[in-house]
């Protein structure tokens, strides 16, 4: 029957459950991002066959029917529900809340700034008053001993020539210390007011060191100190402010003397180190704790331990050293171990070599 095949009706049976669960659902989940839209698949009678999550309320934004050969289902898309916080923020209360948070933020910020500047002012005031009392003490005690020694010498009550000589040494040392303190205060005040003027001149560093060391050696010889000086022969001349650099070196060597404890040996070395000229002042005294090293150059900073407190000082010496070294575009390095001693090294950039 050749006509029978031509008249036969073709078709296929759809397993609705498999179509829904195995094909439609994975396809929708994969292709419709959950934050872009929610969706449902409904049968003709309105029953929900599938949905992307909880059932959305309100009308669908878009509805499409499955193709004619599929079951008579409709696919509905709904816009995503507004997020809770977003909805809150675009409401009127949300706006008020936002303004409130903004004003509160500004107030807190202002408060923090005020507290910071007040505590900074208080800290400065405390440092100034500490400074005044330390400096007055620093001036008073050498002045008292100078007056007493001078009175004894004047009254002729000093029995031996040897004792008289010792008194002269102490007088010299105390007056030198006063002069150093005064110079430190004046120089630092000038630098901080931006009035310091450095006069750079080509200088033989070894000769300058020798002058400084000799002056201090004379002053501290009676206490048994021996200051060794070792300068490499071929040091190139450096452009420095002689007065300022002498003052910085004097402060370093003076500290080495003050913080030597029972040791009486100090060494001063000048040598080439890479691209720098290094001037190292080493003592074998009380040393500095590692955690205190970064604070040593702060204004008025004085080491906190008992040993340091037994030594007189203003906490300005190293601040000035740092300022002077900075003005020469140099660096300063500290190596120290408590109980073993310290090395303070000034590193000055070496001048470019002159063409022959």
Q: Interface residues with ligand ADP (CB under 6 A)? A: 251, 255-256, 258-259, 283, 285-288, 296, 301-303, 308, 313-319, 342
Q: How far is the CB of 251 from ligand ADP (least distance, A)?
A: 6
**Nearest distance in Å: CB 272, ligand ADP:** 24
- Give the position of tokens 């959305």: 56
Within 13 Å, how many C-alpha atoms sit on residue 219's CB side?
A: 21
Q: Cα(179)–Cα(334) distance, rounded to whole angstroms? A: 26
Name 63's bridge partners.
76
Beta strands 331-337 and 341-349, pairing class: antiparallel
Task: Identify which of residues 56 and 315 has a Cβ nearer to ligand ADP in the complex.
Answer: 315
Q: How far is CA 298 from CA 185, 264, 292, in A?
A: 14, 27, 11
Q: Look up residue 263 and give its two tokens.
A: 């040791």
Query: Based on CB atoms, which residue is closest to ligand ADP, 236 or 261?
Result: 261
Q: Which is nearer to ligand ADP, 200 or 301 (CB)?
A: 301
Instruction: Pick the closer one to ligand ADP by CB: 130 or 169.
Output: 130
Strand partners, 42: 48, 74
Least distance (Å) from ligand ADP to the CB of residue 324?
Answer: 13
Distance CA 316, CA 323 (A): 11
Q: How far is the CB of 301 from ligand ADP (least distance, A)?
A: 5
Specify the residue for token string 């200051």. 227
As given in the structure block, the two tokens for residue 140 are 């008073």
Q: Which is nearer to ligand ADP, 216 or 316 (CB)?
A: 316
Token look-up 């031996």 returns: 160
Pairing of β 226-231 and β 265-273: parallel
Supply the minimum distance, in Å, between the C-beta of residue 337 and ligand ADP: 10
Q: CB 155 → ligand ADP: shortest distance, Å?
A: 34
User: 27 vs 226, which CB is nearer to ligand ADP?
Assistant: 226
């Amino acid at each position: 029957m050749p006509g029978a095949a031509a008249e036969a009706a073709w078709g296929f049976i759809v397993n609705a459950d498999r179509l829904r669960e195995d094909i439609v659902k994975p396809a929708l989940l994969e292709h419709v991002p959950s934050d872009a839209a929610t969706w449902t698949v409904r049968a003709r009678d309105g029953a929900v066959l599938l949905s992307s999550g909880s059932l959305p309320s309100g009308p669908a934004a878009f509805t499409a029917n499955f193709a004619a050969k599929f079951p008579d289902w409709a696919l509905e898309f709904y816009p995503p529900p507004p997020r809770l916080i977003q909805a809150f923020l675009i409401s009127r209360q949300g706006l008020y809340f936002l303004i409130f948070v903004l004003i509160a933020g500004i107030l807190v910020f202002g408060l923090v700034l005020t507290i910071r500047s007040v505590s900074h002012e208080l800290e400065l005031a405390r440092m100034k008053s500490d400074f005044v009392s330390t400096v007055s003490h620093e001036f008073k005690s050498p002045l008292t001993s100078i007056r007493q020694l001078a009175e004894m010498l004047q009254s002729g009550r000093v029995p031996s020539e040897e004792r008289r000589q010792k008194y002269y040494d102490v007088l010299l040392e105390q007056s030198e210390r006063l002069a150093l303190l005064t110079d430190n205060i004046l120089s630092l005040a000038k630098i901080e007011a931006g009035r310091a003027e450095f006069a750079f001149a080509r200088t033989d560093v070894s000769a300058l060191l020798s002058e400084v060391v000799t002056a201090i050696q004379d002053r501290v010889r009676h206490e048994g100190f021996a200051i060794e000086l070792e300068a490499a022969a071929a040091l190139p001349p450096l452009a420095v402010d002689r007065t300022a650099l002498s003052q910085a070196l004097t402060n370093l060597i003076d500290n080495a003397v003050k913080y030597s404890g029972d040791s009486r040996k100090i060494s001063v070395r000048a040598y080439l180190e890479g691209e720098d000229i290094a001037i190292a002042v080493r003592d074998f005294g009380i040393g500095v704790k590692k955690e205190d090293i970064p604070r040593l150059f702060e204004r008025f900073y004085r080491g906190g331990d008992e040993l340091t407190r037994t030594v007189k000082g203003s906490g300005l010496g190293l601040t000035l050293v740092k300022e002077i070294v900075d003005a020469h575009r140099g660096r300063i390095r500290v190596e120290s171990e408590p109980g073993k001693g310290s090395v303070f090294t000034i590193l000055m950039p070496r001048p470019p070599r002159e063409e022959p």
